Structure 1
């Protein structure tokens, strides 16, 4: 069964898609200021699902109400990313958003130019 046509029709392994999503998310988080990166890493740890759920829903609501002062559309994808950690149905949407960012704005996922990116800041 080394038919090259069969290789193209096989479904992609979901773990590889999840790995790509997580890698893109990690690269995006490294672009945040150190305080924001630490906060997001803290939020994404297991055991904080209830807090991610509350904040994710509030951020999505704020994104929907982006026409109001102070709130903005930037809140919508952040809320989806937070909820995607615990809601498998949103992981695909999150992966698509991160892939879109990587294609349209590759510099958003690149290491900062000022050299402030430290790989192991845990």
Structure 2
């Protein structure tokens, strides 16, 4: 396993801990190497469903979820995905910190 794969797995493990128990278990099962033949079709179907986001139930939320499943099997997507996850996590923490500060000032 290369360095990008290890870092991506570490990030996904951290994100998985914040999910409800059933979602975390499903994510861990899908990320196992033996689940490759389930992960690839589900990832492709999610991305295809995201393209048809104008229909009910289908939406843009499906695109990143499908990408996260496919990134396990497509090496050249690992580094950009890992960087995007890091950026999203950093911005989320900064936004929450600012929100907490503005609430304490308003009180």
TM-score by length of 2: 0.76
- TM-superposed CA distance for 1:64, in Å, is 1.8
- Is 1:95 the equivalent of 2:82? yes
After superposition, the C-alpha distances for 1:37-67 in whole angstroms (9 at most, x for unaligned) are 1011011111111111000001111122222
Unaligned runs of 5+ in 1: 1-13, 108-122
Runs of 4 or more consecutive aligned structure 1 residues displaced over 4 Å after TM superposition: none
Q: Which residue of 2 aligns with 1:51?
A: 38
Higher relative contact order (CA 8 A, sep 6+): 1
Distance 1:59 1:93, change over 3 A: farther
- TM-superposed CA distance for 1:104, in Å, is 1.6
Q: Which residue of 1 aligns with 2:20?
A: 33
User: Which of the two has greater helix per residue?
Assistant: 2
Give the 3-state SS of the residue equivalent to 1:47 in structure 2.
helix
Q: 1:62 aligns with which of 49, 62, 69?
A: 49
Unaligned runs of 5+ in 2: 95-107
- Is 1:86 the equivalent of 2:63? no
Give the 3-state SS of the residue equivalent to 1:105 in structure 2.
helix
TM-score by length of 1: 0.68
- TM-superposed CA distance for 1:21, in Å, is 2.0
RMSD of aligned alpha carbons: 1.8
C-alpha separation in 2, matches of 1:67 and 1:99 = 29
